Amino acid sequence: MKKKKIMAICLASFLLLFLDCSTGKTDILKTTIETKRFICHYNGNHKWPIRKTSDLLEHAYNYYKDLFQIRLPYKITVKVSNAQSPAATNHLSSDGSRIHIYFPERFGTNEKETTLIYHFFCHELLHCWLGGNVVSHAIGIEALVKFQTDIFLFENSYISKEQFQQATINGSTDPIEIRKYKNKYYDMYKNENSRYISFIKDLADKFARNKLKNNLDVLPVYKEYFGKEIEEYSPSNKSLSSKLESLPKNRPTI
Ligand SMILES: [Zn+2]
């Protein structure tokens, strides 16, 4: 089997992921639907409808495509599996993207869970434009993906203004390094919106040209938009630090 390079693994806010590897079930429901941009597989009796997932992904895809003016040259495979704890990954390669989302079968029945599901799918999808190997600012990229995902969700009424502010301004559940970057992004988004748009478009252009083959140096972009003194916030959180160290040598975004 062709070994695909893991390019993006989202862990920062999806801490402590223990998958339910139970093999005792024989009645697992497997469902697949194919849409314009996605092939969605469900591997479990999830209450969250597969059509809701594909509609959300198509909506987010069109938003990101218009935002970055970049159309992905492949169809995206999305898998949803049953697990005790929610988790999300995006295995990116130059010839495709495989998004894998895990959550319990009964998940998504209250606002908190619904918001998390929205974020998981749209966050991992956004890594198709803002993802891949970087030589620095991996946490900055992760923070940007989290931030821009919440902008999409807010601008399209998936989350309320209060939820958006909680996620971006307060961000109480994020590690401090993520929050530091988010504060910078929020200031630019709010006070220099066109500059913020240019910033994320420049990053997406660089990732697209890099074709996910080599570590990308995003520092020039950060310096251009945030000044020469832009600091790469290093993980002080032991849990986050250990997860970064456990990632592959070429250090994908988290
Ligand atoms: Zn991520």
Q: How far is the CA of 179 from the centre of ligand 1 (A)?
A: 14
pLDDT (tens digit per residue) in 185-194: 999 999 999 9
- pTM here is 0.83
What spacing in Å lies between the alpha carbon of 142 and ligand 1's midpoint? Answer: 5
**27 CA distance to ligand 1 middle (Å):** 32
Total domains, the chain: 2
Look at residues 74, 93, 126 and tell me which one is the last residue of a structural domain.
126
Q: Do 115 and 188 share a domain, yes or no?
A: no
User: Same domain for 165 and 207?
Assistant: yes
CA of 230 to the centre of ligand 1 (A): 21
CA distance 79 to 102: 8
Joined tokens for residue 132: 């891949």
Does 242 reside within a domain? Answer: no
CA dihedral 176, 177, 179, 184 (to 10 degrees): 140
Q: How far is the CA of 25 from the centre of ligand 1 (A)?
A: 31
Q: What is the domain extent for residue 87?
A: 30-126
Summarised one tens digit per residue, pLDDT across range 119-175 is 999 999 999 999 867 888 889 999 999 999 999 999 999 999 999 988 887 766 788
- Domain with 105 in it: what CATH number? 3.30.2010
- Whole-number Å distance, alpha carbon 107 to ligand 1 midpoint, is 21
- 208-221, pLDDT tens digit by residue? 988 766 788 999 99
